[in-house]
A and B are shown apart, each in its own frame.
Chain A
Amino acid sequence: MQVKVNGVTYEHEVEPRLLLVHYLREVLNLTGTMVGCNTSNCGACTVLLGEESVKSCTMFAVQADGREITTVQGIAENGDWHPMQTAFHENHALQCGYCTPGMIMASISMLKENPDPSEEEIREALEGNYCRCTGYENIVKAVQQAAGQSA
């Protein structure tokens, strides 16, 4: 298989059952994407396939053949954080930080589809990303900031 991850093209022979998240973590050593639940509920493994968020624990690596993947490690440009990363930091939208990469990727995907979401729309769009630390309020504020809304 050949896949472009964070702008870099990789070629590997992999077992068909290798999950995309394990390919990213253990073959490419891109450990910014995490496993949280194994049942497609928690979203810790969220990455972008093209421009859309997907759960990399519910996709086989071979299914990404010929595709482009972006992980949290590929969204800063020339060392400058993506506005979503800045917004999470400035709004204290993370505590332990384990869900954060997935949460950030889902939020980026959300704003691509809906650049000016209401609070309710933000909460609904993050329904598949669980955070156990923050109670979500500051995550919502971070997304609002990244969307250019004054908090």
Chain B
Amino acid sequence: MGGGLPRKEDPALVTGRANWTDNIQLPGMLHLALLRSPFAHAKVTHLDVSGALDRPGVVAAFTGEDLADEWPGGVPCAAVVTEEQNTPFQAPIVTDEARYMGDVVAVVLATDRYKAQDALESIEVDYEPLGVVVDMESALEEGSPLVHEELGTNECFTFTAGVGNVDELFDKTDDPDDQAAAARAPDVQGEGDTDAAFAKANVVIKERYIQQRLLPTAIEPRATVAFQDPGHNGYVVYSATQVPHLAKIVLSLATGIPENEIRVVAPDVGGGFGSKLNVYREEILALVLAKKLGTPVKFNEDRSENYQATIHGRGQIQDIELAATSEGRILGLRVKLLDDMGAYLQLLTPAISVSGAAMFPGVYTFDAFSIEIKGVFTNLTPTDAYRGAGRPEAAYAIERAVDSLARKLDMDPAEVRRKNFYEPFDEPTETPGGLQYDSMNMQAAMDRLVELADYEGLRREQQQRRENNDPVQLGLGFSTYTEICGLGPSQALAGLGLGGGGWEAANVRMLVTGKVEVATGTSPHGQGHETSWAQIAADALGVTPDDVVVIHGDTAAVPFGRDTYGSRSLAVGGIAVHLACEKVVDKAKKIAAHMLEAAEDDLEFEGGKFSVAGSPDQNVSIQDVAGGAYLGADIPEGMEPTLNENMTFDPPNFTFPFGAHLCVTEVDTETGKAWVRDYYAVDDCGPVINPIIVDGQLHGGLAQGIAQALYEGVIYSEEGNLMTGSMVDYMIPGAPELPNFTLDRTVTPSPSNPLGVKGVGEAGTIGSPPAVMNSIIDALSPLGVKHMDMPALPMRVWNAIQDAQGNAAASGEYDAALGSREADVKQEGRSEEK
């Protein structure tokens, strides 16, 4: 372990021999095409699919009523975050109303995808448009149109949590008419038993941040092929999914087909980023139609469908209040979130913001914290997990607020952060969010970052540009974050409304030839588990990674699994592999002792050989032991033959990677164009198994975080029409839009698992958005800019400068222009500092 082994996955991928779901062609296979609603909210008043049946190549066409008996469970949501949560039924094909643009109204099956698409045009359908809800605040107002009439409200849930006397803290300090409060030192008095620290609060940062919706945009669109398993009565579902094991359960719940009659296979999967951590109506449809028609059915979405009907990420309005002393010591944090569910609950929709709730305090230690989250239904595409899933939102809020605090107090943002870091610790430590952080040393990460970036030198360069009135200004933005990985302890997950099941399973077996098979319950789609798990196994078993084959993603080949998401794979699944290997070695040692006629305690195991201590010539290789174990002719009496061990690892705690980032941005103040010149990141994910894979995860994560900050954002019209419906309009960054990254690491092992590993899949996406935004605001602060929402595309940056310069005429027109088209800008952030 620890070596930068080039990946075992690559040969198939660089030569075009990968097995993507859409490659699958089966005899008699039909293509499924979906008629999607062009309206965000409309009653279907007339629907006749018979015209489609007359088109060439069309085998069948169905309405929701035709198939309603096939999905007793609808499209399931597995998350219940409060007892009162409203969970509307989601039918794979609607039978009454379409509730977002892209909702499914009817389906066609034809012999090829061209004919299926043509036939959609022959379906007769009439819609009666209904009132549309696109804005969360209006959705909660009395008299708003309702996404689900039967619920009587657009509220999905209200979740609250907190510690300390947080309301009292803010009641004392948060008086907008009290102009003197900000300048006052300890004279905001606490009463009674309020902690003395609260009484010292004299600065409150009160801001609103918008987490715009994002399109996850795995480059491989979703694809599914379902067919009857000719061997028995069951079904095989190939799907471009992150979660074959979860899908097996969910497909059973949705359709009533017994779980043991469903096999799900995730072949090569072209990226997920959370968007394939779901079980979609199209997967359910492919399965029930394969069952109904007795023929293989393929669904392959195009990019327009991907943008309309695959989950969106983020979608929050964040109201943040941060209280601190005039010296910059944070005293408390109060958070109110509105979280956009979209029109239905997908697999984990309500759990995303709730699972991030405890992360708002970040890397800062203080006593008072409270959070309220309201989940809100809108007539928009459902949201769910997107890379980071709740943690980027939390990190963004606290990191923006801390920078605002530094500006308010005229302190260096690095200094304010240092004042509030935890003292380094390596045992679980209680946080204001009620979690037990596992281990942390922010000081070391920050020290390294400041040195790596030459922070002082950058500040001098910035000063020079300011003095020269350079049209291109330089901005420096910090982000010091932590996140929660290693999902997770089953009990803790149950507490988050996810039922539990946070373990991961592995099977490790040594074959008669000495080769190794590792079956893992994780389901990689770019993360390189075939390589990293082989390294872990090779290290534990004393073989080479080339001797190890990793099997994954097939519920018939891997006994149990909980799949890949939330940066959990290494810290849970990798550990399961490691522990299963230890079991193999333990058993092999017994057999070796038997073979060498030595006492087990006298054996040493190194380099794949068992040898008698003091007599190195008396040895046997683990391969030979494996052969002997397999044949079973010469093993200790009563021992089971074979080296074949299972491990199910349920971690005692989550892991909490952390890091310190510095973004260096250049902003053209004349055009509003901002770009990242340099990006420095010092991340700590514990010990590293494969550094090139870890750096690669960071690169990709940083790219997606920078993309949220600078480029990407879903735009809907007031009518709920998706305006960013293709890659022409949705701003996925290309190679020219992104910088090189300067990375380094600190290593603080986690006590949560025997390898001390923490996880790294989402770190970059969590750390980078606030660093970028803080840097842009830093660049423009001499012009009076104090706030900006994401994405910082040129017009928004230019507008912020115009606003700050009092040029309201120009920006007013700009806002009007956007306001008519852009729902998220209607909710544009306001920055209020008291």
- Give the interface of A toward B (CB within 8 A): 15, 17-18, 22, 25-26, 29-39, 41-42, 44, 71-73, 76, 81, 85, 88-90, 92, 94-101, 104, 120, 122-124, 126-140
Contact = CB atoms under 8 A, between A and B. Distances in A.
Interface string B388-414: 000000000000000000000000000
Interface of B: 6-7, 9-18, 20, 22-23, 25, 112-114, 217-221, 268-271, 273, 302-304, 525-528, 692-693, 695-697, 699-704, 726-728, 732, 734-736, 738, 740-741, 764
A110 to B, nearest CB: 11
**CB-CB nearest 7 A-B residue pairs:** A32-B16, A98-B270, A97-B13, A96-B526, A135-B703, A135-B699, A95-B526
Contacts of A130: 219, 727, 732, 734
Contacts of A95: 271, 526-528, 696-697, 700
B696 A38 contact: no
Residue of B526, B695, B704 with most chain A CB atoms under a 10 A cut-off: B526
Nearest to B14: A85
Contacts of B113: 22
B23 A31 contact: yes
A95 to B, nearest CB: 4
B6 A89 contact: yes
A137 B692 CA distance: 12
Contacts of B13: 94, 97, 100
Contacts of B9: 97
Contacts of B7: 89, 92
A89 B10 contact: yes
Given A17-B114, A36-B220, A130-B219, A92 B696 contact: yes
A97 B14 CA distance: 7
A39 B726 contact: yes
B617 to A, nearest CB: 40
A35 B48 CA distance: 32
Contacts of A81: 14-15
Given A132-B700, A133-B700, A36 B303 contact: yes
Main secondary structure of the interface of A (DSSP, over half): loop
Residue of B7, B112, B268, B270 with most chain A CB atoms under a 10 A cut-off: B270
Given A98-B18, A124-B735, A135-B738, 12 more contacts: A26-B25, A38-B302, A38-B303, A39-B727, A41-B727, A42-B727, A92-B696, A95-B271, A98-B20, A99-B270, A100-B13, A132-B700
Contacts of B726: 37-39, 41
Contacts of B11: 89
A129 B16 contact: no
Nearest to B697: A95
Given A42-B727, A88-B10, A128-B734, A37 B303 contact: yes
Contacts of A134: 696, 699-700, 703
A39 B303 contact: yes
B15 A137 contact: no
B97 to A, nearest CB: 29
Nearest to A89: B10
A132 B275 CA distance: 13
A130 to B, nearest CB: 5
B219 A104 contact: no
B727 A37 contact: yes
B16 A127 contact: no
17 contacts: A25-B23, A26-B112, A32-B16, A36-B303, A89-B6, A92-B696, A95-B696, A95-B697, A96-B271, A98-B270, A123-B734, A124-B735, A128-B734, A130-B727, A135-B699, A135-B702, A135-B738
Residue of A31, A33, A128 with most chain B CB atoms under a 10 A cut-off: A31
A41 B527 CA distance: 25
A36 B735 CA distance: 17
B220 A98 contact: yes
A127 B735 contact: yes
Given A17-B114, A89-B6, A97 B735 contact: no
A19 B738 CA distance: 32
B20 to A, nearest CB: 7
Given A26-B25, A39-B727, A131-B219, A33 B735 contact: no
B449 to A, nearest CB: 19
Residue of A37, A73, A89, A96 with most chain B CB atoms under a 10 A cut-off: A96
B699 A34 contact: no
B117 to A, nearest CB: 11
Nearest to B10: A89
A1 B821 CA distance: 46
